[in-house]
Amino acid sequence: MTDPAATDPDQTDPTPTDPARPPLAGRIALITGAAGDLGRAAAVHLARAGAAIAAADLASRGAELGETVARCVEASPTSDASATTSVAFDVTDPGQVAAAVDQISDAIGVPDLLYNNAGYQGAFSNTADYDVDDFRRVLDINVTGAFVVLRAWAGALRATARPGAAVNAASMAALGGPPNMVAYAASKAAVLGMTKTAAVDLAPVGIRVNAISPAFIGPGMMWDRQVELQAAAPSPYYGDDVETVAAEMIGQVPLRRYGSLDEVASVVRFLLSDEASYLTGINIEIAGGAS
Protein backbone atom coordinates (compact mmCIF):
# COMPACT_ATOMS: atom_id res chain seq x y z
CA MET A 1 0.00 0.00 0.00
CA THR A 2 1.39 3.38 -0.99
CA ASP A 3 2.17 5.78 1.83
CA PRO A 4 0.63 9.17 0.90
CA ALA A 5 3.35 10.96 2.84
CA ALA A 6 5.97 9.31 0.64
CA THR A 7 4.46 10.58 -2.60
CA ASP A 8 2.88 13.90 -1.67
CA PRO A 9 5.54 16.63 -1.54
CA ASP A 10 3.24 18.78 0.57
CA GLN A 11 3.40 16.10 3.27
CA THR A 12 7.16 15.62 3.22
CA ASP A 13 8.38 19.15 2.53
CA PRO A 14 6.04 21.64 4.17
CA THR A 15 6.44 25.31 3.41
CA PRO A 16 8.73 26.77 6.06
CA THR A 17 7.17 29.27 8.42
CA ASP A 18 8.56 32.73 9.05
CA PRO A 19 9.79 32.74 12.66
CA ALA A 20 9.25 36.50 12.82
CA ARG A 21 5.61 36.23 11.81
CA PRO A 22 3.11 35.62 14.63
CA PRO A 23 1.61 32.13 14.24
CA LEU A 24 -1.98 33.38 13.89
CA ALA A 25 -1.26 36.48 11.82
CA GLY A 26 -3.95 36.98 9.21
CA ARG A 27 -6.50 34.91 11.15
CA ILE A 28 -9.75 36.26 12.63
CA ALA A 29 -11.10 34.73 15.84
CA LEU A 30 -14.61 34.98 17.26
CA ILE A 31 -14.77 34.33 21.01
CA THR A 32 -18.14 34.05 22.74
CA GLY A 33 -18.40 34.59 26.47
CA ALA A 34 -15.44 36.93 26.05
CA ALA A 35 -16.38 39.06 29.06
CA GLY A 36 -15.76 36.11 31.39
CA ASP A 37 -12.52 34.76 32.78
CA LEU A 38 -11.96 31.90 30.32
CA GLY A 39 -13.14 33.84 27.29
CA ARG A 40 -10.92 36.80 28.11
CA ALA A 41 -7.86 34.62 28.71
CA ALA A 42 -8.35 32.88 25.35
CA ALA A 43 -8.94 36.16 23.53
CA VAL A 44 -5.72 37.61 24.91
CA HIS A 45 -3.74 34.48 24.00
CA LEU A 46 -5.09 34.54 20.44
CA ALA A 47 -4.42 38.27 20.10
CA ARG A 48 -0.86 37.75 21.33
CA ALA A 49 -0.44 35.10 18.63
CA GLY A 50 -1.42 37.67 15.99
CA ALA A 51 -5.12 36.96 15.38
CA ALA A 52 -7.64 39.72 14.92
CA ILE A 53 -10.24 39.39 17.67
CA ALA A 54 -14.03 39.62 17.68
CA ALA A 55 -14.99 39.52 21.35
CA ALA A 56 -18.66 38.70 21.99
CA ASP A 57 -20.91 38.59 25.01
CA LEU A 58 -24.26 39.83 26.28
CA ALA A 59 -25.03 43.56 26.04
CA SER A 60 -25.33 43.65 29.83
CA ARG A 61 -21.62 42.81 30.10
CA GLY A 62 -20.42 45.76 28.06
CA ALA A 63 -17.94 47.04 30.65
CA GLU A 64 -16.26 43.64 31.05
CA LEU A 65 -16.23 43.16 27.28
CA GLY A 66 -14.52 46.53 26.89
CA GLU A 67 -11.83 45.36 29.30
CA THR A 68 -11.28 42.25 27.18
CA VAL A 69 -10.92 44.34 24.03
CA ALA A 70 -8.42 46.65 25.74
CA ARG A 71 -6.32 43.70 26.91
CA CYS A 72 -6.37 42.19 23.42
CA VAL A 73 -5.15 45.42 21.84
CA GLU A 74 -2.38 45.60 24.44
CA ALA A 75 -1.38 41.97 23.82
CA SER A 76 -1.39 42.19 20.02
CA PRO A 77 2.05 42.27 18.38
CA THR A 78 0.90 45.28 16.36
CA SER A 79 -1.25 46.95 19.05
CA ASP A 80 -3.64 47.73 16.21
CA ALA A 81 -7.01 48.64 17.72
CA SER A 82 -8.71 48.27 14.33
CA ALA A 83 -7.92 44.53 14.41
CA THR A 84 -10.11 44.05 17.48
CA THR A 85 -13.85 44.52 17.73
CA SER A 86 -16.63 43.69 20.14
CA VAL A 87 -20.20 42.65 19.51
CA ALA A 88 -23.14 42.00 21.81
CA PHE A 89 -25.66 39.21 21.24
CA ASP A 90 -27.61 36.43 22.93
CA VAL A 91 -26.27 33.09 21.70
CA THR A 92 -29.73 31.53 21.86
CA ASP A 93 -31.20 34.02 19.37
CA PRO A 94 -30.42 32.95 15.76
CA GLY A 95 -31.31 36.39 14.38
CA GLN A 96 -28.96 38.19 16.75
CA VAL A 97 -26.16 35.72 16.08
CA ALA A 98 -26.50 35.98 12.28
CA ALA A 99 -26.53 39.78 12.47
CA ALA A 100 -23.46 39.73 14.70
CA VAL A 101 -21.51 37.52 12.30
CA ASP A 102 -22.37 39.97 9.51
CA GLN A 103 -21.28 42.88 11.70
CA ILE A 104 -17.95 41.23 12.48
CA SER A 105 -17.41 40.37 8.82
CA ASP A 106 -17.96 44.01 7.84
CA ALA A 107 -15.66 45.28 10.60
CA ILE A 108 -12.64 42.97 10.45
CA GLY A 109 -13.54 40.11 8.07
CA VAL A 110 -15.25 36.74 8.24
CA PRO A 111 -13.87 34.85 11.27
CA ASP A 112 -12.05 31.64 10.41
CA LEU A 113 -11.49 30.71 14.06
CA LEU A 114 -14.13 30.21 16.76
CA TYR A 115 -13.91 29.63 20.50
CA ASN A 116 -17.51 28.66 21.27
CA ASN A 117 -17.25 29.45 24.96
CA ALA A 118 -20.44 31.15 26.21
CA GLY A 119 -22.17 29.12 28.88
CA TYR A 120 -24.11 28.93 32.13
CA GLN A 121 -23.36 26.63 35.08
CA GLY A 122 -26.92 26.54 36.33
CA ALA A 123 -28.19 25.84 39.81
CA PHE A 124 -26.59 23.34 42.19
CA SER A 125 -29.22 20.88 43.38
CA ASN A 126 -29.84 17.17 43.72
CA THR A 127 -31.30 15.58 40.59
CA ALA A 128 -34.54 14.76 42.42
CA ASP A 129 -35.01 18.43 43.33
CA TYR A 130 -33.56 20.19 40.28
CA ASP A 131 -35.74 22.96 38.88
CA VAL A 132 -37.05 22.09 35.40
CA ASP A 133 -36.99 25.68 34.18
CA ASP A 134 -33.34 26.06 35.14
CA PHE A 135 -32.56 22.74 33.44
CA ARG A 136 -34.09 24.09 30.25
CA ARG A 137 -32.16 27.35 30.56
CA VAL A 138 -28.84 25.54 30.96
CA LEU A 139 -29.48 23.43 27.85
CA ASP A 140 -30.75 26.42 25.89
CA ILE A 141 -27.56 28.39 26.51
CA ASN A 142 -24.96 25.62 26.56
CA VAL A 143 -26.34 23.40 23.80
CA THR A 144 -28.73 25.36 21.59
CA GLY A 145 -26.62 28.51 21.96
CA ALA A 146 -23.41 26.68 21.06
CA PHE A 147 -25.14 25.14 18.04
CA VAL A 148 -26.60 28.46 16.85
CA VAL A 149 -23.17 30.13 16.99
CA LEU A 150 -21.40 27.19 15.35
CA ARG A 151 -23.97 27.04 12.56
CA ALA A 152 -23.83 30.78 11.78
CA TRP A 153 -20.04 30.88 11.92
CA ALA A 154 -19.56 27.75 9.80
CA GLY A 155 -22.10 28.93 7.23
CA ALA A 156 -20.40 32.30 6.81
CA LEU A 157 -16.95 30.71 6.60
CA ARG A 158 -18.05 28.02 4.14
CA ALA A 159 -19.32 30.75 1.80
CA THR A 160 -15.77 32.13 1.58
CA ALA A 161 -14.32 28.71 0.67
CA ARG A 162 -11.65 29.20 3.36
CA PRO A 163 -10.66 26.58 5.93
CA GLY A 164 -11.06 27.21 9.63
CA ALA A 165 -11.20 25.74 13.10
CA ALA A 166 -13.56 25.81 16.06
CA VAL A 167 -13.21 24.83 19.70
CA ASN A 168 -16.38 24.05 21.65
CA ALA A 169 -16.33 24.48 25.42
CA ALA A 170 -17.32 21.20 27.03
CA SER A 171 -16.38 20.17 30.58
CA MET A 172 -15.15 17.30 32.70
CA ALA A 173 -18.65 17.48 34.19
CA ALA A 174 -19.78 15.63 31.06
CA LEU A 175 -17.47 12.74 31.89
CA GLY A 176 -17.20 12.59 35.67
CA GLY A 177 -20.75 12.94 37.00
CA PRO A 178 -20.31 15.80 39.50
CA PRO A 179 -22.97 15.90 42.23
CA ASN A 180 -25.66 18.59 42.12
CA MET A 181 -24.87 19.55 38.50
CA VAL A 182 -27.23 17.38 36.45
CA ALA A 183 -28.18 20.10 33.96
CA TYR A 184 -24.62 21.29 33.40
CA ALA A 185 -23.30 17.75 33.00
CA ALA A 186 -26.06 16.89 30.53
CA SER A 187 -25.44 20.04 28.52
CA LYS A 188 -21.71 19.48 28.21
CA ALA A 189 -22.20 15.83 27.22
CA ALA A 190 -24.40 17.14 24.41
CA VAL A 191 -21.64 19.54 23.36
CA LEU A 192 -19.27 16.59 23.00
CA GLY A 193 -21.75 14.77 20.78
CA MET A 194 -22.31 17.90 18.72
CA THR A 195 -18.57 18.31 18.29
CA LYS A 196 -18.18 14.81 16.87
CA THR A 197 -20.92 15.21 14.27
CA ALA A 198 -19.96 18.77 13.33
CA ALA A 199 -16.37 17.62 12.77
CA VAL A 200 -17.59 14.99 10.29
CA ASP A 201 -20.04 17.33 8.57
CA LEU A 202 -17.57 20.19 8.14
CA ALA A 203 -14.38 18.26 7.34
CA PRO A 204 -15.10 18.20 3.58
CA VAL A 205 -14.94 22.01 3.47
CA GLY A 206 -11.77 22.18 5.55
CA ILE A 207 -13.32 23.20 8.86
CA ARG A 208 -12.02 21.43 11.97
CA VAL A 209 -14.14 21.18 15.13
CA ASN A 210 -12.73 20.09 18.47
CA ALA A 211 -13.68 20.41 22.13
CA ILE A 212 -11.98 21.03 25.44
CA SER A 213 -13.09 19.73 28.83
CA PRO A 214 -11.65 21.72 31.71
CA ALA A 215 -12.08 20.48 35.28
CA PHE A 216 -11.40 22.80 38.22
CA ILE A 217 -10.02 26.06 36.83
CA GLY A 218 -9.25 29.25 38.73
CA PRO A 219 -9.01 31.71 40.16
CA GLY A 220 -12.18 33.39 38.99
CA MET A 221 -15.93 33.54 39.08
CA MET A 222 -16.64 29.95 37.99
CA TRP A 223 -14.33 28.45 40.61
CA ASP A 224 -15.71 30.69 43.36
CA ARG A 225 -19.31 30.04 42.34
CA GLN A 226 -18.86 26.28 42.16
CA VAL A 227 -17.21 26.05 45.55
CA GLU A 228 -19.80 28.31 47.20
CA LEU A 229 -22.82 26.58 45.67
CA GLN A 230 -21.54 23.06 46.36
CA ALA A 231 -21.01 24.09 49.98
CA ALA A 232 -24.58 25.43 50.13
CA ALA A 233 -26.18 22.37 48.49
CA PRO A 234 -26.88 19.39 50.77
CA SER A 235 -24.61 16.57 49.65
CA PRO A 236 -22.89 13.49 51.10
CA TYR A 237 -19.93 14.21 48.81
CA TYR A 238 -18.85 17.67 50.02
CA GLY A 239 -18.71 19.58 53.26
CA ASP A 240 -20.83 22.58 54.06
CA ASP A 241 -18.22 25.34 54.15
CA VAL A 242 -16.24 26.89 51.31
CA GLU A 243 -12.76 26.05 52.59
CA THR A 244 -13.61 22.39 53.09
CA VAL A 245 -15.21 22.06 49.66
CA ALA A 246 -12.24 23.74 47.97
CA ALA A 247 -9.86 21.31 49.66
CA GLU A 248 -12.05 18.34 48.76
CA MET A 249 -12.18 19.39 45.11
CA ILE A 250 -8.41 19.85 44.89
CA GLY A 251 -8.01 16.48 46.60
CA GLN A 252 -9.67 14.86 43.57
CA VAL A 253 -6.92 16.16 41.26
CA PRO A 254 -3.71 14.11 41.01
CA LEU A 255 -1.68 17.29 40.42
CA ARG A 256 -3.22 18.68 43.65
CA ARG A 257 -4.12 22.11 42.30
CA TYR A 258 -6.64 23.71 40.04
CA GLY A 259 -5.70 24.63 36.51
CA SER A 260 -5.02 28.20 35.49
CA LEU A 261 -6.94 30.28 32.98
CA ASP A 262 -3.79 30.46 30.87
CA GLU A 263 -3.50 26.67 30.82
CA VAL A 264 -6.95 26.45 29.26
CA ALA A 265 -6.30 29.33 26.86
CA SER A 266 -3.08 27.75 25.60
CA VAL A 267 -4.95 24.57 24.63
CA VAL A 268 -7.56 26.63 22.80
CA ARG A 269 -4.82 28.47 20.93
CA PHE A 270 -3.15 25.19 19.97
CA LEU A 271 -6.35 23.61 18.66
CA LEU A 272 -7.15 26.70 16.58
CA SER A 273 -3.64 26.87 15.13
CA ASP A 274 -2.16 25.03 12.18
CA GLU A 275 -0.10 22.99 14.64
CA ALA A 276 -3.32 21.03 15.20
CA SER A 277 -4.13 20.78 11.49
CA TYR A 278 -4.74 17.00 11.62
CA LEU A 279 -6.94 17.09 14.71
CA THR A 280 -10.70 17.20 14.40
CA GLY A 281 -13.54 15.66 16.38
CA ILE A 282 -11.45 15.24 19.52
CA ASN A 283 -11.88 16.36 23.11
CA ILE A 284 -8.90 17.42 25.22
CA GLU A 285 -9.31 16.98 28.99
CA ILE A 286 -7.69 19.83 30.92
CA ALA A 287 -7.98 18.26 34.31
CA GLY A 288 -4.64 17.70 36.02
CA GLY A 289 -5.18 13.95 35.78
CA ALA A 290 -8.69 13.95 37.27
CA SER A 291 -11.33 11.79 35.62
Q: Annotated catalytic sites, by residue? A: 184
Q: Quote the strand ranges of the chain, DSSP E.
A: 28-31, 52-57, 84-88, 113-116, 164-169, 207-214, 283-286
Strand partners, 86: 55
User: DSSP 3-state assignment of 85?
Assistant: strand
Q: What is the largest CA-CA distance in the chain?
A: 63
Q: How far apart, in Å, are the Cα atoms of 273 and each of 33, 156, 277?
A: 20, 19, 7
What does the alpha-carbon distance between residue 30 and residue 43 come to, in Å, rounded to a whole number? 9
What does the alpha-carbon distance between residue 245 and residue 65 come to, in Å, rounded to a whole number? 31
Strand partners, 100: none
Give yes or no for a contact between 90 and 58, defined as CB atoms under 8 angstroms apart.
Answer: yes
What does the alpha-carbon distance between residue 291 and residue 176 come to, in Å, rounded to a whole number? 6
